[in-house]
Amino acid sequence: MKRSSVTILRTLGLVRAARALQRGRCVILAYHGVLSGGDNRYDFLNHNFVAAEAFEAHIRFLVRHYRPIRLADLVSCYRHQTPPPARSVVVTFDDGFANNYSVAFPILQKYGVPFTIFLTTGMIDQDGAQLWTERVKRAVYLHHGENVLVPLLDRQVSCRLTSAMRREECAREILTVLKSQPPAVRDAAVLTIEDVCGRPPLQPHELERYQFLTWSQVRAMARAGVEFGSHTVTHSILSTLDESSLERELASSKRRIESELEKECHAFAYPNGSRADFGPRDKRALQAIGYTCAVSLRGGLNVAPADLLELDRINVGRNLNGPVFEAALAGLLGRAATVRRNVRRLAAKATLRFPSGRR
């Protein structure tokens, strides 16, 4: 939904009306990182990272219009079939970037807002570590030339890197392919891409963006009441894993968090988090290993009775500000996306039923 459309909805009072009607619906927000400098360089590379000023505006809005609660308290309500507080909202972070501690944590403490961080445990305390998705983005987007032929599995991708938009399109095309591959194939492809495009070293001004938490920082936040959950060990998408790899990613990350914090880890966040990234097999594995809840990134709100292993979240990136942020919280963006999906589905069916020229 375009910003202008959302502004019209807010002017007409529809956003406020939708918020008033939420009642038993709970919003779970998914952030990744908060940058103190609000670095606008390379918007694509930073699209999931919001500026500190914008983040504080989000939190002020939540405190004024919603009821921030702990993820554990929401899960308890659903488990005991009791309604959560009206207009509840849960704040979460994925991956475990150090700016969660240095930038976001003080702001959330200032307003007394609880939150949960889902850790990619293999990245924690690893100096210079980068998620495989970030490595692909940086290799392609920051390539020094205007043209490059990128080997991708069994084909070659010809990338014309003549503008920021073209660089983004090429990186997204490559990522889309790799997200469906098993880890061994994916990791080999990432190395090949870096051999061709280069692996740009992190610059001092990028450390706040890319550096991960240390276990010391994790423990300090845990002592202050911050909840922690698992986001796997290597940020692998569950649907790409075989049985043994799935068990290792889920169990090893859970054990590491419990060992470091000396408390149970009950929550999990699906990497990538779309409908295609996990299924019944993965939910059964989570339950068998001892998780009590898991969160996705499908953009909707949660209504009781909820599937605790398929709770929904709204991803908050750098462009989800002002009226668009308010509309997302009210559930309007999720509904618009559902309408678009249904229209595309109906259009596809109509095309199959009435091929071109046979209307």
Q: What is the pLDDT of residue 43?
A: 85
227's tokens: 């909840």
Distance CA 285, CA 153 (A): 29
Distance CA 148, CA 144 (A): 10
Kindly give the parts of the chain with pLDDT less than 70.
1-24, 38-42, 333-359
301's tokens: 């709100």
Distance CA 34, CA 102 (A): 9
Q: What is the pLDDT of residue 323?
A: 85
Measuring CA to CA, which residue among 100, 104, 108, 69 is closest to residue 87? 69
Q: Indicate the SS3 state at residue 117.
A: strand
pLDDT single digits (tens) 236-259: 999 999 999 999 999 999 999 999
Distance CA 156, CA 126 (A): 33
194's tokens: 């870096």
Question: CB-based contacts of 102: which residues, under 8 Å, 6+ apart?
Answer: 36, 208
Q: Quick one: CA torsion of 59, 62, 64, 65, rounded to 10 degrees?
A: 160
HSE-CB of 137 using CA atoms within 13 angstroms: 18
Report the CATH architecture of 3-126+212-350.
Alpha-Beta Barrel (3.20)
HSE-CB of 79 using CA atoms within 13 angstroms: 9
- pTM for the predicted model, two decimal places: 0.88
Q: What is the pLDDT of residue 348?
A: 45
Q: Give 286-293 contacts, CB < 8 A, sequence gap 24+.
A: 286/250, 289/247, 289/250, 289/251, 289/254, 290/254, 290/264, 290/266, 291/230, 291/250, 291/254, 291/265, 291/266, 291/267, 292/75, 292/79, 292/266, 292/267, 293/71, 293/75, 293/266, 293/267, 293/268
Distance CA 319, CA 325 (A): 9
The per-residue b/e assignment along 309-328, b for 16 or more CB within 10 angstroms, e otherwise, is bbbbbbbbebebbbbbbbbb
Distance CA 313, CA 306 (A): 13
Q: What is the pLDDT of residue 319?
A: 84
**Pairing mode, strands 33-35 and 293-295:** unpaired
Q: What is the pLDDT of residue 337?
A: 43
- H or E element that contains 184: helix 183-197
Distance CA 262, CA 258 (A): 5
Q: What is the pLDDT of residue 344?
A: 42
Question: CB-based contacts of 13: which residues, under 8 Å, 6+ apart?
Answer: none
**Pairing mode, strands 49-51 and 67-68:** unpaired
Q: DSSP string of 54-116?
A: HHHHHHHHHHHHSEE--HHHHHHHHHTT-PPPTTEEEEEEEE-BTHIIIIIHHHHHHHT--EE
Q: What is the pLDDT of residue 334?
A: 52
Q: In the block, which residue shows the tokens 């605790």?
A: 308
Question: CB-based contacts of 31: which residues, under 8 Å, 6+ apart?
Answer: 48, 50, 55, 91, 92, 93, 94, 104, 316
Do 108 and 115 contact (CB within 8 A), yes or no? yes
Q: What is the pLDDT of residue 338?
A: 41
**DSSP E strands, the chain:** 27-31, 33-35, 49-51, 67-68, 88-95, 115-119, 147-152, 155-160, 227-230, 267-269, 293-295, 314-315
Distance CA 125, CA 274 (A): 28
Distance CA 266, CA 326 (A): 30
